[in-house]
Structure 1
Amino acid sequence: MATPSETLVKYDPPVLVNKTDMKSRKPTSEAANAPGQGIQEILNRIFPPREWMEGNQLWVQQVSSAPFTRADIIQLEELLDRRLQQSQARGTGICPQRTALSFQCFDELIRQVTIECAERGALLLMVRDQIQMTFGVYQALNEGSMAFGTRKALQAELGKADEEKTISDLEEENRDLKKQLSDLTADNETIEKRENEQQRMENEKHAEKIQVLTKANEQFKNKLEGIIAAKTQNIS
């Protein structure tokens, strides 16, 4: 059993308990009826004595029933502030360190109130238990909402990754289509240029044929006119 951790609740110095002491310890019901043990018994019910082993030795430490003073209140406040700083507790939101230290401080206040009035201490204890239960519900809701938010964030991240992949694929496809369009345009320009050149050559050949035929026709016409003129002279 490990040594108990530090707490803001005031405890008496630990006491080494041997086997004889353990046998002679009175049951709780008997201790409650012993003179001057009423408050201590109530406190022990609220804050059970802390027990731990060191080697083969049993140590017991029970909550203090000593009356408190104004200096104790001031010291408690200073100790709470120091522990908050040491634990690096957050000032806002749900902080486990701040919550634990706040409940320890509340327990110490319950101890102090119980010493003066056991009934008020019992009422505060009931309020503390209700607060702890309510806080537990809110903490569970907060953890659930954080888990839900984490799942949504992961889903959004996965969705974002999918969208980025889709965009990347579309961009690559767009580049391929642009390249195909560029290749087709170049091929079309080459074909059009070749066809234009072929058309030009055919036009030149056609023009040459027309020129040859025109020249031949002109020669035939002149020759025919010469023959007609010669026949006309012979007749006259």
Structure 2
Amino acid sequence: MGQSQVAAASNRAAAAERARQQQLQQQAAAVQQHSNALYDGFAGKQQARATDLAAALRSPQTGASGTPPPVEAPATGSNITTQGEAAQRSNASAYGAQQADALGALRSFSDLLGTDTRLQARDAGQIGQVGNFMRGSASVLPMELNAASHAGDTMKTLGGLAGGLGKVGVVAGLSAKPDSGLPSLPVFTGFGGSPTIEGVAASQPAQPLSLASAFGSLPSFAGSSNPYRSF
């Protein structure tokens, strides 16, 4: 049961990590898709940007209305002078508008590319941040698995206690006294009825046995009638 709890906790930690990695990958893919879409229809975007730039460049000449201001007749002078001034002003406005369109078209490419490049740099920063989140989440997984390995500690402890009690029971069974119905080992009761070494020693005489005590009195050759006395 403890091992099953460890396996289940480990599987949950791994599944949670896979879910986090997939979510972060989806976020990075969405940012990358936005970055790639910046160059979709680039020619049309460039034309629109050229129009916007040309309008911005014409504004000092045309003002808010978008048309050149009218030429006022001078207080003194002939109509020829007024007409000539109006004609020159009209030519200057037309030339300024042409230059504004040309400058807008010239700058549209670099202006649009610079804008997209800044947006791409921002997207790259976001992708890098997501990558850091992915690495950080992956670095936490070993600690989560380590914590999961202790999920079954309680059951393991109970199992260890049960195993210890079982060993104690086995030892107690092996060390129990034999049944009275079994034959007992023989004992030595011939020495005063005591089966111990001390009892055996107590039954022996105080002096050690000698050869004379075992065979009676030793023969004596001290008699004068002994024919072997001569030597």
Question: Which TM-score band applies after superposition, normalised by the shorter structure?
Answer: 0.3 to 0.5
Which protein has greater RCO, CA pairs closer than 8 Å, 6+ apart? 2
1 or 2, which has the higher strand percentage?
Answer: 1
TM-score (structure 2 length as normaliser): 0.33
1 or 2, which has the higher helix percentage?
Answer: 1
TM-score (structure 1 length as normaliser): 0.32
